[in-house]
Amino acid sequence: MSRGSVPAAADGHTGGVTEPVAAELVAAEPLPTRPRARQGVAAVVLAAGAGTRFAGDGHKLLAPVEGVPLVRRAVDAARAADFAETVVVMGATDLLDALPEDVTVLRNHDWAEGQATSLQVAVAYAGSVGHRAVVFGLGDQPGVPASAWEAVGSEDHDLVVASFGGRLRPPVKVGAALWSRLPLTGDEGGRTLIRRQPDLVRALPCEGNPDDIDTVEDLAGWN
């Protein structure tokens, strides 16, 4: 397990990030060998927001869903899909105690500027360790199964999004060639790229429930 800064992608990387990002590598483990379809592909769970609509005790990502912290459910689904690496981007609150030891944790110091900054932190790190693609998912989606992560991550295409009964929702795969087109700030994240480049999007039917948990009422529906 190591600590340090997260560099921007190296000069010359295909579609790499060219601006420095305010991030910190909190924890990481050596990368194991994975199935060929997902070699060089990292799962990234976005978990940096403040969750201001949640009026319960503590941060929503630490709230229990069927006895397990919300963020842990999302992370465990990503881990079970057997990517080259599973990364969690945190920011507004410390999630370390809720996370397994075999994930890489990045701290986004600019989280208040929107979800897009977490994407930038993730692709800067991914470029620095040589990943060729990332699959983004949300830490507040307890109903997205490992099968959805695996299907999106295995598809041989640069822009892949899960389709849940026609609803396009994360997980979203973004190849390195498109990282430079991701937004720098704001809350839309990958949706901006999907909206601006519809000709590049491959929608993949997946099983699961993509609804996220924003409020205490949303949480009650799962417990």
What pLDDT is stored for residue 7 in this prediction?
41
- Kindly report, residue by residue over 15-69, the tens digit of the pLDDT: 333 333 555 666 555 555 454 446 799 999 999 988 878 767 788 999 999 999 9
Query: Considering the domain boundaries, does residue 11 fall inside one?
Result: no
CATH of the domain at 141: 3.90.550.10
Which residues, including other chains, have CB under 8 Å from residue 139's CB and lie 6 or more apart? Answer: 45, 46, 47, 61, 70, 71, 74, 75, 88
Residue 14 resides in a domain:
no
Q: Are strands 104-108 and 23-27 parallel, antiparallel or unpaired?
A: antiparallel
Could you read off the pLDDT of 172-190 as tens digits, one per residue? 999 999 999 999 888 887 8
The closest of 101, 91, 84, 180 to 135, measured between CA atoms, is 84
In this predicted structure, what is the pLDDT of residue 3?
Answer: 34
In a domain, 203, yes or no: yes
What range defines the domain where residue 203 resides?
20-28+36-220
**Residue 9: band (very low, low, confident or very high) from pLDDT cuts 50, 70, 90:** very low
Confidence class of residue 101 from pLDDT cuts 50, 70 and 90? very high
Q: Is the pLDDT of residue 141 over 60?
A: yes
- Say whether pTM exceeds 0.75: yes
Query: What kind and span of H or E run contains 89?
Result: strand 85-90
Burial of 30 from C-beta contacts in 10 A (0-12 / 13-18 / 19+): exposed
